[in-house]
Structure 1
Amino acid sequence: MNALVKNITSPAYQVITVEPQSVYTGAEISGVDLSRPLTPQAVAEIRAALLQWKVIFFRDQPLSHEQHVAFGKQFGDLTVGHPVFGFVEGHPHIYSVGRNRLKERFTDERLVRSWTGWHTDVTAAVNPPFASILRGVSIPPYGGDTQWTNLVAAYQGLSPTLRSFVDTLKGEHRFTVPEGGGARPEFTQKVAATPLVSHHPLVRVHPETGERALYVSPSFLKRIVGLQPRESEQLLALLFEHVVRPEYTVRFKWREGSLAFWDNRSTAHLAPVDIFDTDFDRQLYRITLVGDVPVGPDGVASVAIEGKPVIAHSVE
């Protein structure tokens, strides 16, 4: 049995109700109204559930942009909507996640592997967001599910020998166009105008729980520092394939008024592509919370190669 499963203990929740959605990943939270300010007890319990289950879900919370932002601020400082792609006009903390977002960036010719599209948000920055909160507004009747994977469980699932090896490694994360082509010119131009490159530990020590997470973001992690190109390619393929194993994941079916709140330090997620085979509308909105600089098992922090840290964005 995975050591993580044996060590899972549920805090004593007094305000919220927590319903796990899989063995390792995801829980649905009820008992709170997110449109109103939360009590300190509710904030503490929601944070505890987030740390335990890595991604938490809320239903029937039809928030406005302003309420969405106010909810997020109770857990930390907010970033600008997206460091490369901007924000919703008039709402600098809000990033639009619309149906055609991926279609506007990529053609059907891009190289697709089993881990294509999986990512941890903005890991090309030296301090990726601590968390992201995504809100469903226009949701198709079926299709369009989002998936998350637990990178702590994935780390525990490696052999002790391989864990000892990856503990020593660093990875280069780049915000760049995908390998194998398929990027549209407009996307390429925006990425080129805002370079982001960082070296992160391949294993990140969680700053709150002390857990070790396999800090691999398939969309952004391009090579392992210090290995020969073929060595890096083969090891990354093994790790990418490993972290998206079904037992580590949870799949969330959206409804209008649903929210997903995930710990970006211990998860990766996958946006859906099946919606492009339908005519259904799909519109969600995301906010992100300012994160710290990752630190590896050796105590060494990440370093920025290009670009600036993602800082708090305040509006007077």
Structure 2
Amino acid sequence: MSTTVLTANSRPAPASDTPAQHVGVHPLTGHIGAEIDGVDLRQPLAPAVVADIKAALLKWKVVFFRDQPLSHEQHVSFASAFGAPTIGHAVYGFVEGHPQVYSVARDRLADRHTGELLIRPWTGWHSDVTAAVNPPAASILRGVAIPPYGGDTLWTNLVEAYNGLSPTLRGFVDGLRGVHYFTPPEGQDATETFVKRNAGRPLVSEHPLVRVIPETGERALFVSPSFLKRITGLAPRESQQILELLFEHVTRPEYTVRFRWQPGSIAFWDNRTTAHLAPRDIFSLDFDRQLYRITLRGDVPVGVDGRPSTALKGDPIDAYTP
């Protein structure tokens, strides 16, 4: 399997008459999130610019760009500077004519789940597609139709959350593994569409609860509340209590950043070290919200003990090839 997303692809140096690009990085909180300016993502990026963005992403976990009205093709080109785009979504498909692009529309979940959602403090928080044995290493989300208010997105820093545990609890979770898979959210039932799609591409994987990031050596709590269902080797009640403790912990406000979307905004996050949430306020408003996402192929996570994740059902997510 190839190297992770954060190893940039080689690109030709810009022509001598091309002005040098100055990348500005502006942190947004103490632990996560930075806004980047001074770069036009519609144009091919010089290697130095790619390196600067990569460094900011490793440090701040999620980076944001404003005023970048990309087409689908330009979105794919930008993403490809940092790794290999996958199919839009391993289970739920892609935008017609653009197989690397996934539509993140306001009501895209309406045909998957029915019933009243059980709301907990961590409901909706997730890292992308952690049911796969090699979840995406990064995701790049582009805002197109944005409501005048509402519809923000939050991210949390799973490295900082790990560091915030007591040394005793860190030592305990370092050796744990958990099973990730797709199910309807708590309180809801699966529709026929949900059942068919998941039966057609079943994805179930066992991941370490703590993964080591190769570039930095950092340890991240690899807990995705929407997909992590149980801890291997523990009794059901033990598993539930520990998972709820960890889910509550990773969503503490001090580990998070909240992003206000505008048309042409881009969010680029390290899927290995973050989880994210779209608050449900958009469903109480009569506004459309349309974003498009590209995910980049990831490696198989490795735990503190050196053991990689294992696939219980399904194949790895590979790069899209025409």
TM-score scaled to structure 2, two decimals?
Answer: 0.92
Measure, in 1, the Cα distance between the counterparts of 2:298 and 2:170.
25
- CA offset at residue 103 of structure 1? 3.0
Measure, in 2, the Cα distance between the counterparts of 1:276 and 1:167.
38
**Paired residue for 1:94?**
101
Note if contact 2:178-2:230 (Cα within 8 Å) is conserved in structure 1: yes
Measure, in 2, the Cα distance between the counterparts of 1:283 and 1:84.
19
Residue identity opposite 1:272 in structure 2: P
**Paired residue for 1:174?**
181
- Render the CA deviation track for 1:124-157: whole Å, top value 9, x for unaligned: 0000001000000000000000000000000000
- Render the CA deviation track for 1:149-196: whole Å, top value 9, x for unaligned: 000000000000000000000010112223433433322332233211
Correspondence for 1:212 among 212, 219, 225:
219
Note if contact 2:125-2:225 (Cα within 8 Å) is conserved in structure 1: yes
Aligned residue for 1:75, secondary structure, equals coil
State how 1:66-77 maps to structure 2 within 5 Å.
Answer: 66-77=73-84
- CA offset at residue 275 of structure 1? 1.0
Correspondence for 1:17 among 24, 28, 31:
24
After alignment, is 141-150 or 265-274 more displaced?
A: 265-274
Gaps of 5+ in 1: 1-13
Q: Taking every aligned residue pair, what percent have the same amino acid on both sides?
A: 70
- CA offset at residue 106 of structure 1? 2.8
State how 1:30-109 maps to structure 2 within 5 Å.
Answer: 30-109=37-116
- CA offset at residue 201 of structure 1? 0.4
Note if contact 1:198-1:306 (Cα within 8 Å) is conserved in structure 2: yes
Gaps of 5+ in 2: 1-20
State how 1:249-268 maps to structure 2 within 5 Å.
Answer: 249-268=256-275
After alignment, is 15-24 or 65-74 more displaced?
A: 15-24
TM-score scaled to structure 1, two decimals?
Answer: 0.93
Matched, 1:310 2:317: yes
Correspondence for 2:284 among 277, 285, 292:
277
Matched, 1:119 2:126: yes
- Aligned Cα root-mean-square deviation (Å): 1.1
**Paired residue for 2:160?**
153
